[in-house]
Amino acid sequence: MGIADVLGKIAGDKPVVLELDLARGVLVTRPTNPFEAVRVINSPTLGALRTNLRDAARDDRVVGLIVHAVPSSVELAYLEEVAALVEEFGASKKTMAWAESFGELTHGLAAYLVASAAQEIWLQPTGMLSVEGLELSLTLLRGLLEKAGVTPQFGQRHEYKTAANTYAADHVTGPHREMMQRIGQSLVDGVVDAVARRRGVSPEVVWEAVNASPVTPDDALRLGLIDRVGYRDEAYAATLAEWGAAPESLLFAHRYTSRSQLAKRFKPGGDKVAVVTLRGAIVTGRGGASPLGGQSAGSDVVDEHLRAALRDDDIKAVLFAVDSPGGSAVASDFIRRSVVRLREAGKPVVAHMGAVAASGGYYVSMGADEIVAQASTLTGSIGVLAGKMVTAGLYDKLGLVRETIDVGAASGTFSSAHEFSDDDWERLNRWLDRVYL
């Protein structure tokens, strides 16, 4: 489809049917890496979907929405928001979801959650409903590290602060197992309850499918978890005919632009809501993308964006999008202070928690006027830990000689050359208690 075709649908008066293809993924933010940006150029952002679907729900030209609901790498919390947007859109428009299969033997629960938000669900005859639940795997590395001559030493506050267990524990502790069990149960319970409500069935019916997965299309029909069986061409042809729309009326949801959006683009100025994103581990300084993959959120960069929103008189409120497992306590407190300053200046701040907003990710959110989270957002983890990897044994195994020269009684506290001394542990525990309390 060319630009002229898209513009014609935006500006014209012919019926429009929007499409949302989960196979293209859904981006929380556009990647800063240019090569990655090119790779996902056709993937919609969650923000664009949010704006477009809400505008389209008020657009008389838009007839309905078709969702290709297949498994993707998008985190459950964000798919929950997509499902909520589909359900919200369906309050005033028609919606249909289709899938060749909700997973193949596994991993279809999240995709089906999105499909359940539509008014009608189609499934390919050879497809299946694979909503088998969730398995969480824990791998502890202490034995491997010790074989390599590395000794992990960590202090933590308290038993549910389990991040260091991956390296320091030689078995899964009771609190760690309890926490993971509760997380897994909570995630699946949340999906089951949402599906049951949307499909008008009891949670027990959904649990029957979960425990019997994969479920055939016939059994899914019997359970009331899908409505019709057919291939894509059959699903689209029947749906478009019922909606009184033609195949050429289809338009990807992220390419839709309402007339009001077009008008705003040519009308600069006016009141605005700023969106400030914090994504990745929280660190002091600039942060950024790691060459080994992953992302860190530098406190300096986040603070710059928050201060820019503070200075701009046109910005009347801030949406603070947080997706972080935490990180530096100092950096987290620095960012939280910047959020508080916005509130003190009379600019409301709403923190939106993404897939995870734990530890420091929760702490920075506390400065906001309100906190919004999805049912599957992982949050909490109020605690602190610190430690080091002692590599003296590794050096011995490799035949390396290392000698340290220290100036100052505490200079070698976090050196990997030796274990913590009693004085080191005393200093570390004093710091952990101070941060925790």
Average pLDDT over residues 396-420: 93
Is the N-terminal amide bond of 254 cis, ω within 30° of 0? no
**Mean predicted confidence (pLDDT) in 279-292:** 82
Q: What is the Cα 362 distance to its own chain's centre?
A: 14
> Which tokens is 115 given?
């499909």
Give the whole-angstrom CA distance, residue 103 versus residue 101. Answer: 5
* Residue 341: predicted pLDDT: 96
What's CA 218's distance to the chain center, in Å?
33
Whether residue 427 is predicted with pLDDT greater than 60 in this model: the reply is yes
pLDDT score recorded for residue 158: 86
> What is the pTM assigned to this prediction?
0.86
Q: What is the mean pLDDT of the chain?
A: 91
Per-residue pLDDT tens for 138-163?
Answer: 999 999 999 999 999 999 988 889 98
Return the domain boundaries, the chain.
Answer: 3-132+213-261, 268-368
**pLDDT score of 267:** 59
Q: Which positions ≥6 away from 309 have C-beta within 8 Å? A: 274, 276, 315, 318, 342, 347
pLDDT given at position 250: 94
Helices and strands, counts by H and E, the chain:
17, 16
The CA-atom distances, in angstroms, between 99 and each of 14, 214, 228, 240, 268 are 27, 15, 11, 16, 42
Please count the CA atoms within 13 angstroms of the CA of 200 that sit on its side-chain side.
6
Architecture of domain 268-368: Alpha-Beta Complex (3.90)
pLDDT tens, position by position, 68-122? 999 888 899 999 999 999 999 999 999 999 999 998 877 899 999 999 999 999 9
Identical fold, 3-132+213-261 and 268-368: yes
Number of C-alpha atoms within 13 angstroms, CB side, residue 172?
10
| Assigned token pair, 6 | 């898209």
Q: Which residues pair with 66 in a beta bridge?
A: 19, 96
* pLDDT value at residue 112: 97
pLDDT at 287: 82
Q: Is the pLDDT of residue 35 over 80?
A: no
pLDDT tens digits, one per residue of 338-397: 999 999 999 999 999 999 999 999 999 999 999 999 999 999 877 899 999 999 999 999
Fold of the domain spanning 3-132+213-261: 2-enoyl-CoA Hydratase; Chain A, domain 1 (3.90.226)
Per-residue pLDDT, 4: 47
Helix axis angle, 299-311 to 329-344, nearest 10°: 0
pLDDT over threshold 90, residue 225: yes
Percent pLDDT > 70 in the chain is 93
**Residue 8: pLDDT above 60?**
no
